[in-house]
Amino acid sequence: MKRATVALLGSVLLCNGAASQPSPFAQPSASSPTWSQLSLGNMMLLIQARHAKIWYAGRAEDWALVDYELGHISDDLTAAAMLYSDIPVAFVTSADRALVRMREAAKQKDPAGLQSAFSELTTACNTCHTAGGVSFIRIQTPTTLPFTNQHFQPSTR
């Protein structure tokens, strides 16, 4: 039963994630670290960083960067769901639905659509936190770009 759930989840998420091309420099070697060396809380910190970057990349209409970050956040959520198999699938699929909407908005270069789907994603973050007993981790739309060492600008592609 659990195996079936995880397989289903993998197929739902993997076909939506990884649409952006990975860098040719980012091919893992046999000695690359694996996700399983990260705790769920640490994975979530990465997810939080990408959540913020997606927001500011969207505001700057940096569509290539939005697409890149969406691919990564999708992969990160998939990895979390695969490694922590007691997470109910419904909470991951509702986050994934928002990500699919975001990817579509990015394809259409539609800032309003992206913002609306971003709110849906933020709700999905918090719904899972409440269900998972960590309702004190409240995610919101960022109010300040936490990364001042990266430039966000309208994409040229």
Residues forming the site for ligand HEC (CB under 6 A) = 39-41, 44-45, 47-48, 51, 87, 91-92, 95, 121, 124-125, 128-129, 132, 134, 137, 139
Cα–Cα distances (Å) from 64 to 41, 68, 71, 110, 147, in that order, read: 28, 6, 11, 13, 18
**Cβ distance to ligand HEC smaller for residue 7 or 134:** 134
Least distance to ligand HEC, CB of residue 55, Å: 10
**Cβ distance to ligand HEC smaller for residue 63 or 91:** 91
Least distance to ligand HEC, CB of residue 31, Å: 26
Q: In this structure, is the dihedral angle defined by the CA atoms of residues 27, 33, 35 and 40, taken in order, positive or negative?
A: negative
Among 61, 147, 156, 53, residue whose Cα is nearest residue 111: 61
CA distance 13 to 148: 31
By the 8 A CB rule, do 128 and 80 touch?
no
**Cβ distance to ligand HEC smaller for residue 131 or 153:** 131
**Cβ distance to ligand HEC smaller for residue 113 or 132:** 132
